[in-house]
Structure 1
Amino acid sequence: MNRLIYIPVALLVFVASCNTQKKASKFRFDMPEAGTLVPLGESVPLKMVFPEDVSSFDSVVYSMDGEVLARKTDSTMVSLDTEKAAFGSRTLSAKLYHNGEERVAYSNIVVVPPAPKRYGFKVVAEYPHDLNAYTQGLEFDENGALYESTGFESSGRNGKSSLRKVNYQNGEVLQKIELDTQYFGEGLTLVGDKIIQLTWRSDVGFVYNKNTFAKIGEFTYGQSREGWGLCYDGTRLIKSDGTSRLYFLNKDTYAEEGFIEVYDSKGPLDSLNELELIDGKVYANVYTKDIIVIIDPETGAVEAEINLIGIHPEKADYNNELNGIAYDRRGGRLFVTGKLWSKLYHIELIER
């Protein structure tokens, strides 16, 4: 049985009146609304709602991330220039000084890069790729030899995580070692005569002699949660862990020495996977998507997106993702493949 509950109209009017008075007495931001996305370089109006009990005041001090932007003695709007703002959430505050008292209001904006350039692709050539290779890392050396890191196979295929040297022209595995079964192989990169290979959730990376594949060292992760992708910019290692962060590692000690957050025009970009360094930019697979993003490693801005939908028609719905970027610096050629793919593709980018 449902019962009707009657609330006196006078009580409702009283509650509404109290709420209205409370809102009117609060010093708060009218603009911008908290969480507003702002492309870098755009101006943002800062507009306040002043309490009804404040007819005049000494000053209002506007700040972003604790840095003073402006001091005003009236209620006119302030224009915030984001030209030099860092990407990500930026805290806004306004301090109202009145009769020896201070009232503070807060809001925030999320500074993002402009919309990225868009690229399609053209397949220049196709090469055989081992169907049992669950590709997690892919890289050419200066002589055109291709190195590959694989994880555990799936879909009933036998095999283990491995490190390989491959003849990319015919798919022949020239050299191979298998990881202990407790490890899930992930991204790799080359530093001189060494190969650096990540594992997924074991919190450890391995260092090998490039020529013999003999393990000559290992290291543990720092703040990064897992091992996903890895590349080398000539000075430092750059590592992904499946989040929106790229971590910078010392090339000799492998200690984490900082990170950046990666943003596109919609906000932080998660699921960054296999990495490749090309002409100073980080190319990154986005896990579960047929997309490669091009990232400025100094700012974290996604500058471009490569749409590779349809490149591999044999691709299954699960455990068959695009994952593998390799750049042949001698010929300026870009190659891609995926987990358990039968093909390695040489592609050219087409700007849209």
Structure 2
Amino acid sequence: MADIEQLQQDYLARIADADLAALEDIRIAALGKQGAITGLLKTLGGMSPEERQEQGPRINGAREAVTAAIAARKTLLARACFDLEYGPSCIEGSALTGLSTSTVRDPALAARFEAAVDPTLAAACEEGRLGACAMLGDLLLGRLGPKDIARITTLADKACSGEAMRGCALAADLVRRTDASAEGWDKRYAYLDRACAAQWGYCSDLADLMRAAPPIRSVDSGLLFLADIKACLAEAEEHCWWLYEPAARLNANELGQLVETFDQACLHLPRPSAEICASAASNHLERAEALAASAVADRGAARRLYQRALELPEANEDNPTAHNEARAFLAGN
């Protein structure tokens, strides 16, 4: 039998810091059909009467404590929406209390949350909280589509001009929906270039846009290369592979950037693949062949990267090429 009291305390600690979206994840993990506390409740039927008499109140107590804590946290977040007029809490509250599977389902409260979203975000935007401008624009676009395009454009431009990069991405999306001309591409490029410069997570969108440039627009291959580097390091792994496309045309400095980018992707991304690390190792081995001065250091780096590859899952488990490549190198070195 698991330590029921410790399990209860762990969930209560998580609930105390949870926003409404996380709150629903916690509810499912604890009280859902496959939840931890639900699993303990299912064990009661297989216990002796004596065990059931001892364990039943403990397990049911944990369930009641977690249920009550979730409800209390929901109330606190509701106050953040209605009393503090904090728009994100209104959005989260509407989502959680409107879910048919939620333990805190409350259609009336969900309607109040929903009604509070627009005015709270609009007020925050007017006060200069530019993230609220972008958030409101996103919501309006999802709800209305391009029907209120003028208002959404104003919100997006205000957010973007004030360094809320989600606003720049929203503005680019609006142009995509409404202007397919080369001039529209120029506007999208300007918005996404600004977003990419501030937050690398938007660089994949910029690189994709550059690859889709209209025929009358020329794209600087060096800028595209840099956008792919930033996208790769922002966890868009497909853009790591794009870096090989211009490899034959790269100068020595750009080749160094390529090698360094794959190293960073392998060693520092939260979820790299074995293929990325094997490719990073292969880059070093190719450089070791070409440059005797760095051969020893490159082969040492390749060894570390291949070792890392073996710690990671392969994208194609039925064809473990990266693992086989790593084992073959390490066996001979």
TM-score, reference length from structure 1: 0.19
Higher relative contact order (CA 8 A, sep 6+): 1
TM-score, reference length from structure 2: 0.20
Higher share of residues assigned strand: 1
